[in-house]
């Protein structure tokens, strides 16, 4: 798991808030409501500045300058337009020279439209300001002030909130301003409280009263000639919610009762009161939308009636009058910060963000049309035959949506995989992410499409015989998660947060760490997993950072974190059992990487675990010897084949990139050559996929994707290279993957539990056995040719699957000649032939050593030979003898057949038609199969 910069959105929000708060303390404007085309005086008091560098301005008080900008829209940077000549931070900017007033105070007077040269007709919404000294070594923080319309404007300066809650009989200090002299008055619920004639400011101390739960409206009105300006805020005396038991059968979140009625339930212990606000009450709390509190004080609930049937309605929970959050259990949200970047290709017909709302809102809809599933009884692949294809939708299809992914299922069918693992698709922060920063666990992220699009994809995958597994993130959540925000303490989750630890217990935490021993978190995990299994019919989950599901404090000790943890084991067994109660066949996959005792216990309990072989196979592909035996569940001592081996995942460097950049060479053989690297990728794929047990491949590994994981940043967008399919050599790699996957998923011996790995030396061997058949694979990971004892499991007839030939083995230990990167997959049972010419090696070269050949009467002379060589065969055999000359890749270059009628046979073989080099002379007759090296060399 890797993610982008932690809590970035939170930091930005806090900085903006800080900037606005700082304005009130440091910068005063005269007039209070400045306009773009009118003169304004800016008064700074740096004794109240927060940036410690501001103190340096006091050293040269007559050398202080304004550095500023103007923003021409609400969403623009406040420093968008800067005054002419303001370019050199390290030099004085004379137009911005400040006048020192003494006592840490400075002023400057300007007309914004003139100072920033903004044309008439272009609005100015805000100014960005800071003070600096002449060389820029001292400065204040940034400040942002609002610019108002040049028409008559009235504004409450205190309070600044649009809505606030107050205790009974508490006071509210009111301060208001107008942009020009006017008749000003303040009204409470339509009753005038105070009036000032020909004034630009007015103040009043208001008693909140004792009407618990009643909402009050306070209006500021200013009149000048024919112009009228108003400003409004509301307050409410803290309510006392009614106490009522939760009706039977309800669950947290939305409960649909009828086509016009829902009951909303919010789990919110330690909170005093909750209102439902939304489009039905213009986002303002009203008495009839005050939620009931359950007797234990843990939940709030409310029935809402008279909803428009079948229409999407946006709503939030306003908790304790201070924070509004979307429903944590919502299956759809609207996000004002990110939805405006979505297109029809992402989410067609998306409901517009509602006017009057702030922040993320949840959506409910009665009478939602139910998806009609085409496949109702999908049978999942057996674990031992599972071949998972992991992908990130963002980097897999150009449209980044489920619909195109559905259209791509034919590609997966041709490859032969039987499961797709989607990197996280639950709502995450922003629209562009790996997805490991989740915010809402029941809502698919709209960046990839609609809920129906996702279901259509899963349904179509099932029709194609492909399971769909979700990568799910329940170890952490990002700041926008409602339960992070509802229980927050400064810069971390509060101590009374029912879900999250204030500080993560383990290393490598990025966002906010779930407490998996909390009853609330246990219930949430149970709900989330059941929801996706039942509502979306997914086939299982890959749990991100499963080792983080612990309350044992280990941070920052990685070794201690990885040690056996009985509490963590108990947590995972509980989660596994809960999933099994919902779906007894669902895959439960852990990204664990913990102590082997712990992983073995979890695997034997039934869970599947990621088994990372990337490091070993990348080095082998580069020509460096390692032992990848850990990819075998048997070598790990597990009872079941529950280790999902892989040589690439989203988290590892791509094999082909590493080989092309860093591979070894010997003579003319260079793994950095692309074609050679692709052939070595075939070798790595063969030995990783053929070992029994489930396997996983990362997107485009089957085409030799050679873009680094770190291009554009580790989690950044990666280029699509679908054109790789048109490259003949990459297409061969794809077909080798397809052939290997076909064997793994259809030929029983590839799922056997009787197998042996011989992975220590640079030449690797794998033997698979059942009573009906055997498989023997041998491969040379060196960058040099190897002539080595083959060590076939037995003598007899073997079939070279990729070479499409029959091989007679008389001596299992006789030598086999393997070129660098060459591998052979032999079977005792003849299988349907593989696609021809996928590998560069043709005929198998079995070479008895020279002494054995001589013992059997096989002699070549001269050797080296110029244009011809004499072949002598001295043995009792009588019959047809086949003489063949093979080059270093096993390709046949000469072929002659003779009849042997006597003890001794001598025959000339002419070599003039072949170039100089090393060859193998192979003689086959009867049960004899002998090979000798021969060098063709002109004298």
Beta sheet of 27-30, edge-to-edge order: 27-30, 40-45, 105-110, 99-102
Is it the case that residue 1 has pLDDT exceeding 60?
no
Within a 13 Å sphere around the CA of 711, how many CA atoms are in the beta-carbon half? 12
* 907-916 tens-digit pLDDT: 888 888 888 8
| Contact (CB, 8 A) for 692 and 751 | yes
Going by the DSSP 8-state scheme, the letter that residue 554 receives in this structure is: -
Pairing of strands 608-612, 587-590: parallel
pLDDT at 21 over 60: no
| Residue 571, pLDDT above cutoff 90 | yes
Nearest C-alpha neighbor of 610 from the set 561, 546, 688, 563: 546
| In the predicted structure, residue 749 carries a pLDDT above the cut 90 | yes
Q: Are 74 and 62 in contact (CB under 8 A)?
A: no
Across 283-297, 338-352, 415-429, 801-815, least confident range: 801-815
Number of Cα atoms under 13 Å in the Cβ half of residue 514 = 28
Query: Long-range contacts for 613-616 (Cβ within 8 Å, ≥24 apart)?
Result: 613/645, 613/646, 613/647, 613/688, 614/646, 614/647, 614/648, 614/649, 614/652, 614/653, 614/655
Separation between Cα atoms, residue 232 and residue 95, nearest integer Å = 38
- Phi, psi angles (nearest 5°) of residue 712: 60, 30
pLDDT (0 to 100) of residue 768 = 98
Nearest alpha carbon to residue 810 among 657, 704, 688, 925: 925
Note the pLDDT of residue 849: 52
User: What would the pLDDT profile of 445-461 be if each residue is shown by its tens digit?
Assistant: 999 999 999 999 999 99
Banded pLDDT at 923 (limits 50, 70, 90): confident
Contact predicate 800/844, CB 8 Å: yes
Q: How far apart are CA 11 and CA 935, in angstroms?
A: 72
Strand 846-847 and strand 815-818: the pairing is antiparallel
How far is Cα 693 from Cα 633, in angstroms, rounded to an integer? 7
What's the DSSP call for residue 718? -
What confidence tens digit (pLDDT) does each residue in 43-68 have? 999 999 999 999 999 999 999 999 99
At 853 the pLDDT is 65
Which residue has tokens 């067994």? 573
pLDDT category, 366, cuts 50, 70, 90? very high
Mean pLDDT throughout 821-832?
A: 96
Euclidean distance between CA atoms 704 and 722, whole angstroms: 11
Look at the alpha carbons of 665, 670, 674, 675 in this order and tell me if their dihedral is positive or negative: negative
- Of these ranges, 23-27, 213-217, 249-253, the one predicted with the greatest mean pLDDT is 249-253
What pLDDT sits at residue 811?
Answer: 84
CA distance 164 to 168: 13
CB 877 within 8 A of CB 900: yes
Residues 209/199, Cβ–Cβ less than 8 Å? no
| Per-residue model confidence (pLDDT) at position 927 | 60
What's the whole-model pTM score?
Answer: 0.82
- What angle in degrees, to the nearest 10, is found between the helix axes of 566-582 and 519-535? 30
Residue 212 pLDDT: 84
Q: What confidence category does residue 842 fall into, taking pLDDT thresholds of 50, 70 and 90?
A: confident
Contact between 545 and 650 (Cβ < 8 Å): no
In this prediction, residue 852 carries a pLDDT of: 58
pLDDT for position 843? 78
Instruction: Report the pLDDT value the prediction gives residue 367, as an integer from 0 to 100.
Output: 95
C-alpha 545/C-alpha 776 separation (Å) is 37
Residue 724 DSSP code: G
pLDDT at 939: 64
**In terms of DSSP bridges, do strands 695-698 and 387-391 run parallel, antiparallel, or are they unpaired?**
parallel
d(CA 106, CA 62): 9
Cis peptide before 159 (omega within 30 of 0): yes
Length of the chain in terms of residues written: 939
Interatomic CA distance for residues 5 and 2, integer angstroms: 10
Mean pLDDT score of the chain: 93
Check if the beta carbon of residue 858 is closer than 8 Å to that of residue 930.
yes
Give me the mean pLDDT over the 590-615 stretch: 97
**Tokens 């993610």 belong to residue:** 3
Tokens of 536: 């979306």
Whether the per-residue pLDDT at 227 is higher than 50: the answer is yes
What are the backbone dihedrals phi and psi of residue 158, each rounded to the nearest 5 degrees, phi first?
Answer: -145, 125
96: three-class secondary structure by DSSP? helix
| pLDDT at residue 19, rounded to an integer | 36
Is the model's pLDDT at 477 over the cut of 90? yes
Q: Please choose, from the candidates 780, 769, 867, the residue with its C-alpha nearest in 3D space to the C-alpha of residue 817.
A: 780
Residue in 378, 462, 389, 377 with CA at minimum distance from that of residue 420: 389
pLDDT at residue number 930: 72
Residue 449 to residue 447: CA distance in whole angstroms: 6
pLDDT of residue 855: 64
Q: Which of 21-35, 201-215, 692-706, 782-796 has the highest mean pLDDT?
A: 692-706
Coil vs helix vs strand at 730:
helix
69 in Cβ contact with 81 (< 8 Å): yes
> Phi-psi bin for 209: left (phi > 0), alpha (psi -120 to 50), beta?
left
Give CA–CA dist 921/754, Å, rounded. 37
* Domains of the chain (ranges, CATH numbers): 8-146 (2.60.40), 154-237 (2.60.40.10), 253-365 (2.60.40.10), 383-393+418-454+465-610 (3.20.20.80), 749-846 (2.60.40.1180), 850-936 (2.60.40.3080)
Lowest model confidence (mean pLDDT) among 294-298, 628-632, 898-902: 898-902
Read off φ and ψ for residue 424, nearest 5 degrees: -50, 130
Minimum mean pLDDT range among 16-20, 173-177, 472-476: 16-20
Rounded CA Rg of the chain: 37
What pLDDT, on a 0 to 100 scale, did the predictor assign at position 928?
Answer: 65
Residue spans of beta strands (DSSP E) within 87-170: 99-102, 105-110, 126-133, 143-146, 154-158, 163-166
Q: Which two tokens stand for residue 35?
A: 């306009």
pLDDT at 689: 98
Q: Report how far Cα 745 is from the mean position of its chain's Cα atoms.
A: 28
How many Cα atoms sit within 13 Å of 841 on the Cβ side?
A: 28
Say if residues 266 and 291 touch (Cβ distance below 8 Å): yes
Which pLDDT does position 12 carry in this prediction?
A: 36
Rounded to an integer, the average pLDDT of 681-697 is 98
pLDDT tens digit sequence for 117-164? 999 999 999 999 999 999 999 999 999 999 998 899 999 999 988 888
Number of Cβ within a 10 Å radius of residue 151: 10
Report the pLDDT averaged over residues 810-826: 91
Cβ partners under 8 Å of residue 926, min gap 6: 877, 879
Q: Which residue has the tokens 């709502």?
A: 427
Assess contact for 752 and 769: CB atoms under 8 A. yes
Question: pLDDT tens, 325-336?
Answer: 999 999 999 999
User: Distance between CA 354 and CA 283 in Å, rounded?
Assistant: 10
pLDDT tens profile 70-120? 999 988 899 999 999 999 999 999 999 999 999 999 999 999 999 999 999
Of the listed ranges 324-338, 430-444, 902-916, the least confidently predicted one is 902-916
Cα–Cα nearest to 155, from 222, 205, 216: 222
At residue 434, φ and ψ (nearest 5 deg) are -70, -25
């Amino acid at each position: 798991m890797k993610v982008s910069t932690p809590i970035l959105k939170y930091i930005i929000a806090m900085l903006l808030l800080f900037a606005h708060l700082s304005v009130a303390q440091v910068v005063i404007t005269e007039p209070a409501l400045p306009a773009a085309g009118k003169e304004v005086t800016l008064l700074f008091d740096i004794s109240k500045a927060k940036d410690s560098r501001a103190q340096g301005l006091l050293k040269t008080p007559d050398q202080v300058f304004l550095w500023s900008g103007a923003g021409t829209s609400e969403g623009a940077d406040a420093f968008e337009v800067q005054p002419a000549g303001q370019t050199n931070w390290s030099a004085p900017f004379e137009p911005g020279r400040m006048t020192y007033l003494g006592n840490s105070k400075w002023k400057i007077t300007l007309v914004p439209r003139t100072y920033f040269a903004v044309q008439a007709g272009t609005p100015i919404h805000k100014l960005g300001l800071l003070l600096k000294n002449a060389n820029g070594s001292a400065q204040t923080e940034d400040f942002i002030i609002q610019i108002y319309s040049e028409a008559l404007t009235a504004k409450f300066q205190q309070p600044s909130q649009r809505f606030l809650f107050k205790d009974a009989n508490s006071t509210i200090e009111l301060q208001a301003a107008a942009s020009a002299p006017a008749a000003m008055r303040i009204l409470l619920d339509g009753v005038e409280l105070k009036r000032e004639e020909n004034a630009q400011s007015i103040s009043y101390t208001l008693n909140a009263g004792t009407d618990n739960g009643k909402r009050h409206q306070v209006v500021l009105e200013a009149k000048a000639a024919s112009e009228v300006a108003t400003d409004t805020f509301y307050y409410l005396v803290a309510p006392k919610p009614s106490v009522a038991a939760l009706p039977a059968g309800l669950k947290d979140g939305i409960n649909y009762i009828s086509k016009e009625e829902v009951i909303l339930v919010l789990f919110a212990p330690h909170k005093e009161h909750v209102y439902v606000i939304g489009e039905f009450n213009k986002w303002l709390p009203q008495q009839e939308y005050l939620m009931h509190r359950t007797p234990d004080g843990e939940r709030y609930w409310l029935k809402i009636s008279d909803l428009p049937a079948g229409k999407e309605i946006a709503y939030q929970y306003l908790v304790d009058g201070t924070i509004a959050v979307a429903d944590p259990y919502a299956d759809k949200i609207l996000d004002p910060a990110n939805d405006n970047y979505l297109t029809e290709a992402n989410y067609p017909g998306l409901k517009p963000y509602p006017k009057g709302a702030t922040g993320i809102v949840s959506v409910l809809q009665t009478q939602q049309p139910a998806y009609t599933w085409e496949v109702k009884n999908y049978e999942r692949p057996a674990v031992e035959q599972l071949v998972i294809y992991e992908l990130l939708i963002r980097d897999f299809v150009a449209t980044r949506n489920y619909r195109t992914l559905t259209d791509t299922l034919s590609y997966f069918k041709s490859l032969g995989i039987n499961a797709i693992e989607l990197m996280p698709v639950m709502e995450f922060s922003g629209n562009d992410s790996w997805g490991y920063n989740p915010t809402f666990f029941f809502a698919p992220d709209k960046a990839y499409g609609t809920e129906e699009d996702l279901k259509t994809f899963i349904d179509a995958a099932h029709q194609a015989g492909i399971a769909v597994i979700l990568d799910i993130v329940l170890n952490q959540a990002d700041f926008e998660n409602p339960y992070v925000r509802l229980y927050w303490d400064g810069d971390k989750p509060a101590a009374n947060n029912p879900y999250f630890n204030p500080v993560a217990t383990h290393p490598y935490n990025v966002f906010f760490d779930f407490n998996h021993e909390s009853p609330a978190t246990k219930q949430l995990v149970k709900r989330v997993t059941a929801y996706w299994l039942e509502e979306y019919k997914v086939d299982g989950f890959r749990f991100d950072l499963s080792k983080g599901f612990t309350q044992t404090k280990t941070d920052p000790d990685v070794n201690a974190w990885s040690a056996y943890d009985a509490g963590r084991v108990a947590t995972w067994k509980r989660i596994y059992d809960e999933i099994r109660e919902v779906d007894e066949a669902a895959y439960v996959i852990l990204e664990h990487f913990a102590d082997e005792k712990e992983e073995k216990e979890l695997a034997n309990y039934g869970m599947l675990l990621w088994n990372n072989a990337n490091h070993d196979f990348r080095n082998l592909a580069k020509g460096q010897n390692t032992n990848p035996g850990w990819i075998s569940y048997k070598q790990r001592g597990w009872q079941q084949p529950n280790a999902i081996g892989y040589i690439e995942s989203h988290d590892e460097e791509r094999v082909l990139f590493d080989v092309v950049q860093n591979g070894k060479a010997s003579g003319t053989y260079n793994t950095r050559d692309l074609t050679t690297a692709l052939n070595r990728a075939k070798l790595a794929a063969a030995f990783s996929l053929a070992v029994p047990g489930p396997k996983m491949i990362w997107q485009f590994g089957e085409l030799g994707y050679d873009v680094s994981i770190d291009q554009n940043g580790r989690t950044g967008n990666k280029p699509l290279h679908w054109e790789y399919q048109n490259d003949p050599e990459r297409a061969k790699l794809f077909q080798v993957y397809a052939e290997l996957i076909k064997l793994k998923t259809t030929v029983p011996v590839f799922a056997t539990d009787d197998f042996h790995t011989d992975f220590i030396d640079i030449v690797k061997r794998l033997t698979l056995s059942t009573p009906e058949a055997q498989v023997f694979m041998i491969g040379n990971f060196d960058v040099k040719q190897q002539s080595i004892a083959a060590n076939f499991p037995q003598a007899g007839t073997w079939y070279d699957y990729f070479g499409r030939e029959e091989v007679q083995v008389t001596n299992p230990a006789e030598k086999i000649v393997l070129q660098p990167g060459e591998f052979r997959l032999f079977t005792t049972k003849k299988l349907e032939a593989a696609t021809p010419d996928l590998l560069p090696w043709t005929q198998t070269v079995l070479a008895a050593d020279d002494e054995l050949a001589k013992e059997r009467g096989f002699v070549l002379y001269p050797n080296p030979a110029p244009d011809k060589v004499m072949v002598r065969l001295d043995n009792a055999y009588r019959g047809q003898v086949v003489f063949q000359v093979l080059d270093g890749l096993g390709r046949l270059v000469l072929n002659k057949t003779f009849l042997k009628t006597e003890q001794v046979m001598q025959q000339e073989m002419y070599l003039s038609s072949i170039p100089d080099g090393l060859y193998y002379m192979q003689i086959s007759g009867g049960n004899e199969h002998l090979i000798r090296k021969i060098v063709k060399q002109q004298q």
